[in-house]
Amino acid sequence: MTIHALQRTRYRALDTPTGLMKLFHLLLLFSLTAGLFAQDATPVPKQPFAGFGNTGLDQRPGAKKTTNPTPVPSTQSPPKVPLTTAGEAGGIALANGATGHLTEASGGQTMKMQDLKALLSGYGKAEADLGPHPDVTVYEGPTMDSGLSQNCRITYLMPLSQAESLLFKNKGISTEARAVAPGFPDGLFIHTYDAKAGIYNRLVILTDGAKPQHRVVSLLLKGAGVNWYPPSPPWKKIEGKWHTHDYMNTENKGQPGLVIDTRVNDLRQKGHYIVVNMTGGTRPPVCGSEIVKPAKASPKEDSTWYVPEPLIKLILYSLLQQLGQ
């Protein structure tokens, strides 16, 4: 049979219904096979919905673009229980959450806090005492510009202007700053004045944050270029390797070899306060008072700090929160 005869036979076969059906089945089989090969060539994504909702096309007009819809869990530990401010019914006014400024992780400040704890632990217990305590004395002694001829008494939470009028005839210029001493509750203020009272040439008054006027919480007298060793009794020498010679102004010895003499006059039964004297060098307890020029290996000043019992309790409470001991 010739080639032309074969072609005519094939075309006639396709013209029949049976031939057309066979061709249809062959085409259908070829299409299914090609589709399977195409699916195997396309990789299946590991996360089918990854990235959904994070493109500009997925945002409504004017909607805020979201770049990290998954919230990040907090790793901060819960805060310790803080002091709360009173300032009501005459109580002391402190900052909210006033447990102090520093923690044990604050490096060199820890030594100051340990000194403060060792000094005050024998004269009170940690307590969030926010009461007014009008019977508590902060300071009783000579005024600051009368040549020691007149005395006055300053009580706990007395308005600052009233205390100034009792301490000075003319107070002159004073400065005010936020108190940041480690171990002290937060929300206190330091007021500094020139003074002329015996060996002292500077007065520092610590107040709360009451409005419209701050109120007296503590008092500190400073004498430059002198070391004073008060008599025993009534003063008691507190032995220790002290680092701090002014707790209110956070002043400590600058060299390892310096020595600090610390003594306390306990007046809690008389007026609910103590007086702490800190000076350079050292002397054994003696019956009489000694005033000497500063030794070479000592801070060249004297600090006499008047600390009422409510403040002792608050400081010890703040130290308990900060040091965790």
Tell me the pLDDT tens digit for each residue of 270-307: 999 999 999 988 888 877 888 887 766 677 899 999 99
Q: What is the three-class DSSP state of 90? A: coil
Which token pair is 160? 């600052």
Rounded Cα–Cα distance for residues 286 and 100 (Å): 37
Nearest to 278 by CA among 229, 316, 315: 229
Band the pLDDT of 79: cuts 50, 70, 90: very low
* DSSP code, position 215: B
- Say yes or no to pLDDT of 229 above 80: yes
- Say yes or no to pLDDT of 123 above 50: yes
Better pLDDT: 98 or 210 = 210
- Say yes or no to pLDDT of 125 above 60: yes
Q: Poorest-confidence range of 20-34, 58-72, 132-146, 208-222?
A: 58-72
- Say yes or no to pLDDT of 264 above 50: yes
Alpha-carbon distances of 47 from 4, 44, 50, rounded to whole Å: 60, 9, 5
Q: Quickly count: other Cβ atoms within 10 Å of residue 79's Cβ.
A: 9
How does the average pLDDT of the chain come out, rounded?
77
Band the pLDDT of 259: cuts 50, 70, 90: confident
Which token pair is 318? 């703040």
3-state SS, one letter per residue, for the chain:
CCHHHHHHHHHHHHCCHHHHHHHHHHHHHHHHHHHHHHHHCCCCCCCCCCCCCCCHHHCCCCCCCCCCCCCCCCCCCCCCCCCCCCCCCCCCCCCCCCCCCCCCCCCCHHHHHHHHHHHHHHHCCCCCCCCCCCCCEEEEEECCCCCCCCEEEEECCCEHHHHHHHHCCCCCCEEEEECCCCCCCCCCEEEEEEEEECCEEEEEEEECCCCCCCEEEEEEEEEECCEEECCCCCCEECCCCCCEEECCCCEECCCCCCCEEEEEEEEHHHHCEEEEEEEECCCCCCCCCEEECCCCCCCCEEEEEEEEHHHHHHHHHHHHHHHCC
- Say yes or no to pLDDT of 175 above 50: yes
Which token pair is 156? 């706990």
Q: What pLDDT sits at residue 255?
A: 63
- Alpha carbon 284 to its chain centroid, in Å, reads 38
- Alpha carbon 304 to its chain centroid, in Å, reads 27
Q: What is the three-class DSSP state of 141? A: strand
Which token pair is 4? 């032309």
pLDDT in tens, 28-78: 444 444 444 444 433 433 333 233 233 333 334 444 443 333 434 334 433
pTM of the predicted model, to two decimals?
A: 0.72
pLDDT (average), residues 102-131: 82
